[in-house]
Structures are given as C-alpha cells and as structure tokens.
Structure 1
Amino acid sequence: MNHATFLNTLLDEATLPFRGGGKFAYHYARGKLSSDCIFRELLRQGIFPAEGHYLDLGCGQGSLFGWLLAARKLHEQGNWPADWAPAPKALSLRGYELMQKDVDRAARAFGRDHPLVDIRQGDMCRVDFGHADVVTILDALHYFDHAGQQDVLTRIRAALPPGGLFLTRIGDASAGLPYHLCNWVDHAVTFVRGHRLPRLYCRPLGEWVALLENLGFSVSTMEMNEGKPFANVMLVCRVPPASQAE
C-alpha cells in the first residue's frame, strides 16, 4: 500500500465516528485532518511517546483523538507504513473545549461513556489540568493575553512528569506577510466554527521559545506549512528526564 492510499484509509477510519456527530462534524473533521500536515507529521516522525495519557486543551470536537485512535487501530492490524514510527498508544484522551457546540459534537461522535475519550466544556485558563504525559494546544494559545499564556504554560509544565511532552503550534509574528495570512485564515475558521472574531495575542518565534525554555522545557521547532504561504511553527517542548534534571 502506498502512502496516499494509506492516508486515505487512515482518514476514513479517523473520521468514521464523526458521522454520528452530524454533517458539519464529519466534513469539518475530514477537511481538518486531510489538509493539515501536522497530523501526518506527528505520526510519521514519532513525536508522541510510545504510550501515555493525553490532555488536549482547546480540543474542539476531538479530531486529534479520532486520528490517534484510528492510527493505533491500523497499526495493531499491521496496516502501517514501514518507514513511519510505530503509532502511539493512548492510555486516556482528555480534552477541554470552550465551545459547548463542539463538546456536544464530540459526545455524539465518541459517546459519553467511551473507555478512553473524555471531552468536557471548560476554559483552559481556569480548569485544573491534573496530570498528563502529553499536553497539546494546537493553534489556540494566541487567543488570550500574554499574562494568560504565561499562566497556562506554567500550569502545563507543572502537570507534566519528567520526560513529558508539550506540543503546540504558533504563528511566528516576526514572519511578515505569511504571519498576516495566517491571522486572516484563523479569523475565517474561527467564524465558521461559531466563535466571535477574537483579538489575537501573538509573539515572535524567538519570544515563544525563550518563554518555554524559562519554564524548563527543551524546545525544538519545525515549520508546519507544507508549501503554503503561512508562518505556522510547531514547538516540540520536552521536560528533561529525571536523570538530567538532578
């Protein structure tokens, strides 16, 4: 099976639950997962740990969770590219989402008693994160002010164990026109999902990295645009293992 055929199979499997969430939920999931290269690269490069407990902040209807569950299912069936890292095994998938409509779509997609998936309405600036091995925020940190960003990132660091992973994607405010194009698309997508058009609190890439490193993360950066004229950068932020922290 070539990569294109595999990705179509993975997409079909990942979006199957969202058929139960309604036409919008299904087509939104298909559009998001098929057009955004970050989902493919997270699996191909083996960014996530072999297994762990996940917390996705600003998780929407749970498209990432559908992707992870589908990937693990195909991997266990032996339907997996030989040149990709093994699919991660999620021990639990918790998510918080501000918009109740998205939470309702997630409930219809995964059911309210899913053994792994638990998505609840909540503001990441206020909810208790508990503990997780992996925390993700995709394209949402810039929706609240710099003081709020500092607080959220500090609490994420406290929620992660030695060796834990925080993964986020930001728009590099120092990138000129591509950054402004990112903002325009962000406003459009936000409007379609039913949010009011927000004020955005962005930072230059170097400022994001310095902020995260000051919190004790080891940070690596990867452009995540795949030929599109945007300024998206994935930040892979790891807590040093206990042996290194001593």
Structure 2
Amino acid sequence: MTSRFLPTLLDEASRPFRNGGHFAYHYARGKLSSDCIFRELLKRGVFPAEARFLDLGCGQGSLFGWLLAARRLHDNGHWPNDWAPPPKPLELRGYELMHKDVERAARAFGRDHPVVSIRQGDMCQVDFGQTDVVTILDALHYIDFAHQKDVIKRIRAALPAGGLFLTRVGDAGGGLRYHICNWVDHAVTFTRGHRLPKLYCRKVAEWCELLRSVGFQVETMPMSAGKPFANIMLICRVPS
C-alpha cells in the first residue's frame, strides 16, 4: 500500500501551493518528494498524537501542507497499516525571514486559515510563546554560534514537560559528505533567491552537548536516505 500511498500524499500536500504560483507548487512538490525527512517523520511516529507546532525558518510552509494532508488522508481511511497515525495539528505557526516565502504561504493557505499562521520574522528575535513541538529543518546553521545557543534556550523555555524539539543539521565531522551538504545548501539557497550565507556548523557531538546543556534528552538519527550527505536528525525531548 505504501508505494501507492506516497504519490497520493504528495498530490494532496502540494495541491494548496498551486495557489502560490508555478514556483511555489513545483518547489513544494520537489521538496516533499525528494527529501526523506518528511516521509520518515510520519512513518516513525516521531510527533505526539496532537500538538501545537512552531516551525522556525519554515519557508513557504511545506511541512504544514504535509501534516495537514496526512491527517486528512488518515481521517478518510487512507493510511498505511505499517505507519504510525499522523499527528492532529491543533495549531501550525511558522516564522520565515524571507518575505517572498511568506507571501507564497499566504496564497497557499489563505490569510485566515483556522490552523495555519505563517509570519515574517527572525528566529533570533521573535517571541516563541508556548507550544508543544518546535521544528527547525536545515536552518540553524544560518545563525552564528551565540544566537544558536540563545535560540535553543528559548525553545526549551517554550516547551512543556514531554515537549519535542526536532531539527536536522549537517555533521561538520562528516568529511566529504558534509562538504557536499554545504554545496547543495548553497545551490538551493541561491535558487530560492536568497544571498549565499555564511554557515555556522558543528560536529554532531557538539550539537548534542549544547542541547543537553539546556535540558534536552537527545536522540540522533541519520537522515540522508542513501544520498551522499552528512545530515543528522536530532530528536530532542524535554524530560517528563
């Protein structure tokens, strides 16, 4: 069933982005189909059964489209038996630095969506409020080391006992695979119309040390799906 299900999920998740224009639709479809993390997050049941989500550096909201589509398909009886049930999103808040991405999100989801709210903002400055799950996918390395620590401390403060912070980083100790990650990162950043950034990367052990120092329990998981990358998913939980 899974081989037939994934194209259906992709169609459902990318459909809203047609309203955002040609680029928004094809970028969402390409990202959701080629990046293994979206599939694995659902398949492995990483998220709680229901939750308020905060995605920092959320782009045009591809993750939100994926989560909403998954829940609709599940509730309509279309879900693989060997996958964990998808989460029920109570709230999907996102902050994105780039105005163009925020505008694409507004056209995709509408400006008065009952669950989705994506605003322009810098993760180093915005108020995180209180939430159950925080995600930062492939964006922490764009901010300098001091701000990385401050953002992580504020994420910890925004989460309750049992809360989840999930991020993916490149392992700076990954040799050639790490450098390939950075080359691809620069190419994608340029394609999206952003300036080529300076990157602030760490070895996986250094990421784990930082996260544990502010009170997270950390699990690491390779997240490259056979591609020559040094991507690691960090599953960080607040102790219950």
Q: Say whether the fold is shared (TM-score over 0.5).
A: yes
2:90 & 2:55 partners in 1: Cα distance? 14
1:195 & 1:84 partners in 2: Cα distance? 36
Tell me the amino acid that sits aligned with residue 57 of structure 2.
G
Question: Which residue number corresponds to residue 57 of structure 1?
Answer: 56
1:168 & 1:99 partners in 2: Cα distance? 20
2:63 & 2:174 partners in 1: Cα distance? 27
Question: Which residue number corresponds to residue 185 of structure 2?
Answer: 186
Question: Which residue number corresponds to residue 159 of structure 2?
Answer: 160
1:181 & 1:30 partners in 2: Cα distance? 23
2:186 & 2:3 partners in 1: Cα distance? 30
Question: Which residue number corresponds to residue 169 of structure 1?
Answer: 168
Give the gaps of 5 or more residues in structure 1. Answer: 242-246
Q: CA deviation at 1:160?
A: 0.3
Tell me the amino acid that sits aligned with residue 122 of structure 1.
G
1:227 & 1:43 partners in 2: Cα distance? 19
Residues 1:150 and 2:154 are matched in the alignment: no
Tell me the amino acid that sits aligned with residue 13 of structure 2.
A
Question: Which residue number corresponds to residue 68 of structure 1?
Answer: 67
Could you give the per-residue CA deviations for residues 116-163 of structure 1, whole angstroms, max 9, x where no partner exists?
Answer: 000000000000000110000000000011000000000000000000
1:94 & 1:63 partners in 2: Cα distance? 12
Could you give the per-residue CA deviations for residues 16-42 of structure 1, whole angstroms, max 9, x where no partner exists?
Answer: 100000000000000000000000000
1:5 & 1:194 partners in 2: Cα distance? 34
Q: TM-score, normalised by structure 2?
A: 1.00
Q: What does 1:127-146 correspond to in 2, within 5 Å? A: 127-146=126-145
1:233 & 1:189 partners in 2: Cα distance? 18
Tell me the amino acid that sits aligned with residue 100 of structure 2.
K
Q: CA deviation at 1:3?
A: 1.1
Alignment: residue pair count: 240
Q: CA deviation at 1:5?
A: 1.2
Tell me the amino acid that sits aligned with residue 183 of structure 1.
N
Question: Which residue number corresponds to residue 16 of structure 2?
Answer: 17
% identical equivalent positions: 75
Tell me the amino acid that sits aligned with residue 127 of structure 1.
V
Question: Which residue number corresponds to residue 119 of structure 1?
Answer: 118
Could you give the per-residue CA deviations for residues 76-105 of structure 1, whole angstroms, max 9, x where no partner exists?
Answer: 001000010001000000000000000000
Question: Which residue number corresponds to residue 84 of structure 2?
Answer: 85
Question: Which residue number corresponds to residue 235 of structure 2?
Answer: 236
| CA RMSD in angstroms, aligned pairs only | 0.4
Question: Which residue number corresponds to residue 215 of structure 1?
Answer: 214
Give the gaps of 5 or more residues in structure 2. Answer: none
1:226 & 1:119 partners in 2: Cα distance? 29
1:4 & 1:60 partners in 2: Cα distance? 28
Q: Give 3-state SS (helix, strand or coil) of 1:167's partner.
A: strand
